[in-house]
Structures are given as C-alpha cells and as structure tokens.
Amino acid sequence: MIHFNELRITEDNKSLIIDVSVDSDSCFSDVTLDTIIIDNQDTYVDNGPSSNPVLSINAKENYSKVLVEESCCYTPVYVESQEYECYVKDDKNIRVLVRLDEYNIKSTDMLFVYVMTEGTPSCNVDKSYILGTVVNLYSIYAKAMDYIREVECVCSTPKHFVDFILRLKALELCIKTGNYTQAIKYWNRLNINPSNECCYG
C-alpha cells in the first residue's frame, strides 16, 4: 500500500531523508499519507509505534500548500520552512529531510520510521502503515577497517574481525526478518569496541 522511495541518513550524518508514496493501484485511491513517526532503539516497542516517539510529523498540520513551477506547469506542493525541508507533490507523496541535531537524534541511533495513512482502501491490506529501519553503517564500516588488520596477524586467529562480521550479518538478518528487538541488541553490540589483543608485528 505504501513504499519508501528513499530512506537513509545523509553522508554528512546530519539529516534523515524520508521519501514515501502511496502505491498507484486504483484500490488505494482514497488513501493518503497522514503521519510520520520515528522511534529509536530506546523507544521502540513491538507492534509500534511507541507512545513516546523521538519525532512525530503530521503532514496535514505542519505543511501548507503552495504552487511551484515544475517542468512546464504549476504543481501543488506542501512546504514547511521552519523545522523540516519538505516537498510534497500531493497528499500521496512526501519527501522530508529531518535535521538530526534539532531532535537529539544521533547518527548512531537505530531508527524505526513509521508512515501512517488515512482513508480506507477498497482492497484487503494487512496494515495501515509501513515501517522502515534506518542505520548509519559508516562508523561500523570504519571500525571494520581497524579489525581487518587482524587478518594480517600470523600470531593468532582474527577473532575480533570474525566476531564483527558475525554481528553485522546477524543484524542484517534480524532486520530483514522483522525481528527488531533482537536487531537492537546486535546494533548495540556492534557499537561496542572490543579490546584488540592481536599483535600487529
């Protein structure tokens, strides 16, 4: 019913991009985007979103419609200039750029982005929202480059590097299968620096 076109933390670790649309199928003609809710690893609850999310954005209250020129014609767009950078083609498509520091969101947080809808589809759907998980793997991959030096060590098994790879794969598997509680545990473990006892001679 809904799909993310883009969902990521920017390369500078300063913003979260959320670009989401209602599917174009005719049975969703009465469905519109309503609210974006963001939880992190501390506020996440099963069958969320939580009652105390990190951020909640009600598009219909926070954005006012204006007309902007797009290609050859004018298109209605919702724009809110104070808290978010938001561009909406209509009430079925939204693109929001959330500045992390304004909401005390860390680039090392595991974020759970819920997009809620309004309206009733004419076909059967399981849920009236979509959930996307966002992690910034830059710091994790930077840590991997430290551990990879263990592979060159002839005096012992590269245990920290092997441990790191297993943790990363476990995280990926948990996210893909929707086991978010376990994913949070692996994410927290990935952000812990184990002591490196390998000799680098």
pLDDT digits (tens, 9 = 90+) for 15-33: 899 988 888 888 888 888 8
Question: For residue 195, what pLDDT band results from cuts at 50, 70 and 90?
Answer: very low
Q: Please report how the helices 159-176 and 180-190 are oriented relative to each other, as an axis angle in degrees rounded to 10.
A: 150
**pLDDT, mean over the chain:** 79
Question: For residue 198, what pLDDT band results from cuts at 50, 70 and 90?
Answer: very low
Q: Name the percent of the chain lying above pLDDT 90.
A: 29
- Ranking 36-50, 56-70, 89-103 by mean pLDDT, the lowest is 56-70
Whole-model pTM: value is 0.78
Q: Please state the rounded mean pLDDT for residues 48-71.
A: 70
Around 187, how many Cα atoms within 13 Å sit in the side-chain half-sphere?
24
* Spans of all domains in the chain: 2-134, 138-190
Which of 181, 172, 182 has its CA nearest to residue 48?
181
pLDDT greater at residue 145 or residue 63: 145
Whole-Å CA distances, 75 to 3, 65, 100 = 22, 10, 29
**Mapping DSSP to helix (H, G, I), strand (E, B) and coil, where does residue 163 land?**
helix
Contact 162, 131 (CB under 8 A): no
- Single-letter residue type at 157: T
Instruction: Give residue-wise pLDDT tens across range 132-188.
Output: 999 988 878 887 887 887 777 777 788 888 888 888 899 999 999 999 999 999 998
pLDDT greater at residue 90 or residue 54: 54
> For residue 145, how many other CB atoms are within 10 A of its CB?
8
Contact 17, 94 (CB under 8 A): no
Structure confidence at residue 66 (pLDDT): 46
Question: Which CATH architecture describes the domain 2-134?
Answer: Sandwich (2.60)
Helix intervals (H) in 23-137? 59-62
